[in-house]
Structure 1
């Protein structure tokens, strides 16, 4: 039997994390060192890759420590560190990442158009601005949140990128913002 490389983790089997803008995403707090982030997710996620990238950023991928089966190989969470501020960006994999909630709104693995409607309503209710990246991703600099899309076979699902306040001012800008270019190129895994 062939391995389903597009396996999407069932919602009931996902980790549950809360997002507090500019503070934390689950156990990961903005500003942490990589060693602190590893300790915060110890036993749940494990580092699979850590690499430098161009500029002042460093990237690391965290994989599920207990993989449900072979279909779920690949990173659950990708983190980006700014050398001067520590943990500055967290991208949650649409297929196998934790379910991240903002005031009850689930941000991971959702149908992008439906999530965009919820997000727009949320921003209007909370008197926050909606912006779009050059890739047409809905964003809010006031929350440090970009709702990207990621391919899962013939469908796409939501892949949120959550950033520290120091990266938020241009989080929608794919060319001059702080989110590394490699993140903007991530569409499938």
Structure 2
């Protein structure tokens, strides 16, 4: 998808990604996404992740949803805990001036390294080998887009039920290729 055609979303770590706030209910997430022009489907789940909402723009043609939101109902933690943004057709999400979605992975890595050095942040490397700034509530990943590979991102807030951002991300979210 062309950069100019993507919705533009901001990201505040552990607070919100675009119109979606961590901790909001499934119903609130559906209302927010439908107001932004997406169509949504809800799915009840078993285990720690008790709900899933997939959202697509009406013009979306890909197999993957543009945005997938995961919900938890565990002890003191309730509501949106994780969301993923598709690299081919999802909204552009910007963190600290860095565009995270639909990028060439090596270019995003170079920007991350410059950004973490400038801000004196640490960085980590995901199980798939993607570089990310630690303690910022997201992990980038990659997926195929025809003959190319582009970046996507997984955002999470572990507060109240998990130890790390990675613990909040369901296995199926890691498996998007």
TM-score (norm 1): 0.82
Mapped pair 1:17 → 2:9:
yes
Note the C-alpha offset of 1:179. 1.0
**CA root-mean-square deviation:** 2.0
Look up the match of 1:5.
Answer: none
Q: For 2:155, what is the secondary structure of its paired residue?
A: strand
Look up the match of 1:185.
Answer: 175
Note the C-alpha offset of 1:103. 2.3
Q: Say if 1:144 and 1:168, in contact at 8 Å, map to a contact too.
A: no
The gaps in structure 2 that reach 5 residues or longer are: none
Q: For 1:41, what is the secondary structure of its paired residue?
A: helix
Note the C-alpha offset of 1:171. 2.7
Q: Which of structure 1's runs of 4+ aligned residues deviate more than 6 A?
A: none
Structure having the larger proportion of residues in strand: 2
The gaps in structure 1 that reach 5 residues or longer are: 1-8
Note the C-alpha offset of 1:155. 1.2
CA distance in 2, matches of 1:61, 1:183: 12
Q: For 1:85, what is the secondary structure of its paired residue?
A: strand
CA distance in 1, matches of 2:114, 2:140: 14
Q: Could you say if the C-alpha distance between residues 34 and 17 of structure 1 is closer, same or farther in structure 2, counting changes exceeding 3 Å? A: same
Corresponding pairs, count: 172
Q: Say if 2:82 and 2:168, in contact at 8 Å, map to a contact too.
A: no
Encode CA deviations 1:94-135: one digit per residue, 9 max, x unaligned: 011001111221100000111011012112222221111222
CA distance in 2, matches of 1:56, 1:24: 19
TM-score (norm 2): 0.88
Higher deviation after alignment, 29-38 or 135-144? 135-144
Look up the match of 1:3.
Answer: none
Mapped pair 1:94 → 2:87:
yes
Note the C-alpha offset of 1:40. 1.1
Q: Say if 1:51 and 1:59, in contact at 8 Å, map to a contact too.
A: yes
